[in-house]
Chain A
């Protein structure tokens, strides 16, 4: 209930802050209107800038703000609202040009005033932010490079947009209004300082040491960390943390990785990481004894938020990791509720945790169903991909009373959701998580 109240409160605050610029425009000395379309364009420009500015707060990993929803959901909202804000920012010049064709000349940086050029460059910086985020994989940008581009371009875009609006100087005349916009611009950038400076400082007091690095099936590695000089981290099974391996918590290289260990053990945490390129391809070379820092726990993909009669886990490839954390935790808690784990993988050899899952099946109400897309000769288990037909063969008739967790690629998530709909499972009983944050 507390989460619901805080959840509604934060949504209210968000809507208030994003719409405030439009109301602020009307405060103070009256400005003569300059035509409906021009004013609409201006209002969308101001609102778009405020929306982009608040993005820094959404990605600031403030626990109080993300707790009611889970940071993964906040990041999902961040992605969706960024596209809408960018559409507004793009509409700002488009409406002007379509309604007043002469204004197209303001796009020429040679002849246009500096304030207009600042607006144009701001738009290009926003384009870089959105383009590199939406097409990161297609552009083959690794996570670290993308993150630098994202941060630098976003700050540049907001700064240039502020230069543009102060330079045009319509609706922002007067020390109070100019001061307000300047303060807002500085305020937007503050969360960056929190994430890049304050949080690492806090992490410095809670270091971890790499205890072991173990090879797993499916080109994966399990990295075990031990807290050094503190009691460790209390997380919920299925959650994740940003992990930095190295001497400094201020290093730019950090990655969101799901816990795979049981939440019942605070003396160690395990992350299981598949070699997928960039940072992950070097994880096997991490030397035991290395220092590590964790920012977390984060996320709402956990059984602990649901009082269901049973749980159904649907994992694709390395999507098994958070499921493993939940199964291990439920086993440690001696939970007697029924569990089904549908594990989609290309070959049986690549099924990570295969042996341990076999052991866990003996000690709890767990049924593991491997769905193999390239099965070996003589394979008598399920073939292909996780489907409604396969699930129907194993799940009981009262399956609509269970909570469903999906973790895998976007394609796997979509097809599995369709399969669950076919089975009549209400979508509000389905939780999903990608292993690619961007």
Chain B
């Protein structure tokens, strides 16, 4: 019978840990469907002419990024890193610095930036 109690204790322990994990995740990211609570650093340069991110960025490249970026495809950079406002403004001013439509790859974030 004590075996049954030990099984119950295992279930209770598991349930308690799931509960605490959910609380932890909730504290860290209150918005359940938010991809990132803090947007990734914006891209500090125009994209036109710099479409191949990995030409400069890499763990051991000229402008290194952290190891946890490894394994992501080249097309995924702009899913988190959006062009910075300064280039948007320059583009709006007709400076021609930004002509690539990044909203297609990061729709939600670009909308958020517009609201800000």
Contacts and interface: CB of A to CB of B under 8 A. Distances in A.
B is a partner of A: yes
A116 B59 CA distance: 15
B3 A33 contact: no
Given A80-B10, A300-B2, A25 B26 contact: no
B100 interface: no
Given A18-B13, A300-B2, A427-B1, A37 B67 contact: no
B53 interface: no
Given A69-B6, A111-B71, A25 B16 contact: no
A88 interface: yes
Given A39-B24, A47-B21, A168-B68, A19 B16 contact: yes
B6 A80 contact: yes
Interface stretch (A101-109, A217-225, A324-332, A341-349): A101-109
| Size band of the interface chain B makes with A | 35 or more
B16 A15 contact: yes
A72 B25 CA distance: 36
B22 interface: yes
Contacts of A116: 70-71
B116 interface: no
A43 B21 contact: yes
B13 A111 contact: no
A191 to B, nearest CB: 19
Contacts of B18: 44
B36 interface: yes
Given A44-B21, A116-B71, A431-B1, A35 B9 contact: no
Contacts of B25: 36-37, 39-40, 43
A334 interface: no
A14 interface: yes
B32 interface: yes
Given A43-B21, A69-B6, 16 more contacts: A11-B9, A18-B17, A19-B17, A19-B20, A22-B17, A22-B20, A34-B37, A36-B29, A43-B20, A76-B6, A88-B17, A106-B71, A111-B70, A167-B67, A169-B67, A170-B68
3 A-B pairs with the lowest CB-CB distances in the bound complex, closest first: A33-B29, A43-B21, A33-B28
29 contacts: A15-B16, A18-B13, A26-B27, A31-B28, A32-B37, A33-B28, A34-B37, A35-B36, A36-B26, A36-B34, A38-B29, A39-B24, A40-B21, A40-B22, A43-B20, A43-B24, A47-B17, A47-B20, A73-B3, A73-B6, A80-B6, A80-B10, A80-B11, A84-B14, A102-B76, A108-B71, A112-B71, A113-B59, A168-B68
